[in-house]
């Protein structure tokens, strides 16, 4: 009698994510994932048509979970909203860095696809637009709670984008996590205080 695994799709996603985190993309096969989950490789293909689609799905799902953590923290906390937001985003980007780096390397070295196909694959690796907007809206809500203001600022999205861009650079060039997070906190705080005249 075949083994029944509850929430099999979640188990596949969790196992695949760990394998992609800890191994080069090319060395993680569908057979390896199926073996780790404890299912037949044919069963895995019933859920995902190929490794690329599985990768994209688990990567996006991991960011959906990050969004849920941020949202729940924003509701639960009664102070330090911005610092908590930055700490979570910083750690989540750190934990996903190896996956993205490996995959970009794989795409660049794939001699079987042309430049247009590579561009399309790169687009798939980045955040889905809906998820970006959800995380951005949460960022705005965090700032409103932190500074007790109503935000009306067309440049706020630029600030949000800068944070997402700066975190990997800070992680690469400066080892002190607490100092990096504090630096980001001060940048955001300074912008809000100056733009809304909160220091006056």
Angle among Cα 11, 17, 19 to the nearest 5 degrees reads 100
Q: What is the DSSP letter of 114?
A: -
At residue 189, the pLDDT reads: 94
At residue 2, the pLDDT reads: 52
Handedness of CA 7, 9, 11, 14 (dihedral sign): negative
Distance CA 116, CA 133 (A): 26
SS3 (DSSP) at 8: helix
At 165, list the tokens: 């861009």
Q: Return the C-alpha torsion angle 173, 174, 175, 181, nearest 10.
A: -130
Domain 1-49 has CATH 1.10.10.60: yes
Q: How far is CA 98 from CA 23, 140, 166, 167, 196, in A?
A: 9, 28, 17, 14, 38
The pTM (predicted TM-score) of the whole model is 0.79
At residue 128, the pLDDT reads: 63
Residue extents of the structural domains in the chain: 1-49, 59-195
At residue 118, the pLDDT reads: 65
> For residue 37, what are the contacts with CB-CB under 8 A and spacing of at least 6?
5, 8, 11, 12, 15, 44
Residues of the chain with pLDDT under 50: 1
How is 127-183 classified by DSSP, letter by letter? PPHHHHHHHHHHHHHHHHHHHT-----TTHHHHHHHHHHHHHHHHHH---HHHHHHH
At residue 1, the pLDDT reads: 41
Nearest to 127 by CA among 165, 180, 91: 165
At residue 104, the pLDDT reads: 67
Q: What is the DSSP letter of 79?
A: S
At residue 185, the pLDDT reads: 96
- 107-166 pLDDT per residue, tens: 667 666 677 776 676 666 665 667 888 899 999 999 999 998 888 777 888 899 899 888
SS3 (DSSP) at 118: helix
């Amino acid at each position: 009698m075949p083994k029944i695994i509850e929430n099999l799709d979640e188990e596949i996603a969790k196992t695949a994510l760990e394998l992609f985190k800890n191994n080069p993309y090319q060395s993680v096969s569908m057979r390896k994932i199926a073996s780790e989950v404890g299912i037949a490789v044919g069963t895995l293909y019933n859920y995902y048509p190929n490794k690329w689609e599985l990768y994209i799905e688990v990567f996006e799902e991991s960011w959906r979970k990050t969004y849920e953590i941020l949202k729940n923290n924003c509701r639960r906390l009664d102070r330090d909203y911005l610092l908590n937001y930055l700490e979570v985003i910083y750690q989540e980007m750190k934990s996903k860095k190896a996956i993205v780096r490996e995959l970009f390397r794989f795409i660049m070295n794939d001699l079987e696809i042309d430049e247009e196909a590579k561009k399309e694959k790169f687009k798939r690796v980045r955040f889905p637009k809906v998820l970006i907007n959800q995380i951005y809206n949460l960022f705005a809500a965090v700032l409103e709670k932190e500074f007790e203001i109503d935000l009306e600022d067309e440049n706020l999205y630029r600030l949000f984008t800068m944070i997402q861009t700066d975190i990997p650079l800070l992680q690469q060039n400066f080892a002190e996590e607490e100092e990096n997070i504090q630096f980001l906190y001060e940048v955001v705080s300074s912008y809000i205080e100056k733009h809304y005249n909160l220091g006056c």
